[in-house]
Structure 1
Amino acid sequence: MNPTARTLDHSTDFLPYRIEAVHPPAQAPEWGEWLRELGFIPGEKVMLMARAPGGDPLVVRVGSSTFALRRAEAACIEVVQLAEAAVPA
């Protein structure tokens, strides 16, 4: 894992991230294909939009789509934070 990377479930709400990799768990390898089909592919921009009470599920925007992911699914997605856009003066 990239030293500046984290998993999507540990990302900060409303900050932009880029997907680095998807690492499905050994007990559920089909999650990798399913997440790719939804658009969770390396290079794609992603943002955590909300967390339900208790932290599960998470509301995640990838591209122009929004999904609810279980925390375990979001933990499979390795991301790096993108530089925040500068606010014009």
Structure 2
Amino acid sequence: MTLRNAGVGQTVTVSKITGVGAIKRRIMDMGLTKGTSVYVRKVAPLGDPIEVTVRGYELSLRKADAELIEVQ
């Protein structure tokens, strides 16, 4: 399952980041690393962006970026 598929109010754990190169580095720099808990706060009406809470701060992600983050 990817972060894009996680439901609002759900807490998930990052298991893998499938992106490569600069995109993977940018996602990891935002604090989304393997083993990190992520709480899905909101999803915009059209599904983009997704607002999550990670490591104590709010973060907005595009659907394309959320699709690269595998969670459990």
TM-score range, shorter-chain basis?
over 0.9
Task: Indicate the RMSD between aligned Cα atoms, in angstroms.
Answer: 1.0
TM-score by length of 1: 0.76
5+ residue gaps, structure 1: 1-5, 81-89
What code does the residue aligned with 1:68 have? S
Equivalent pairs, count: 72
- Rounded to whole Å, the distance in 2 between the matches of 1:23 and 1:40 is 12
Among 63, 66, 74, the alignment partner of 2:58 is 66
Deviations 1:10-58 (A, max 9, x none): 0111111110011116xxx311000100100000000111011200011
5+ residue gaps, structure 2: none
Over 4 Å off, 4+ runs: none
Percent identity at matched positions? 26
Greater radius of gyration (CA): 1
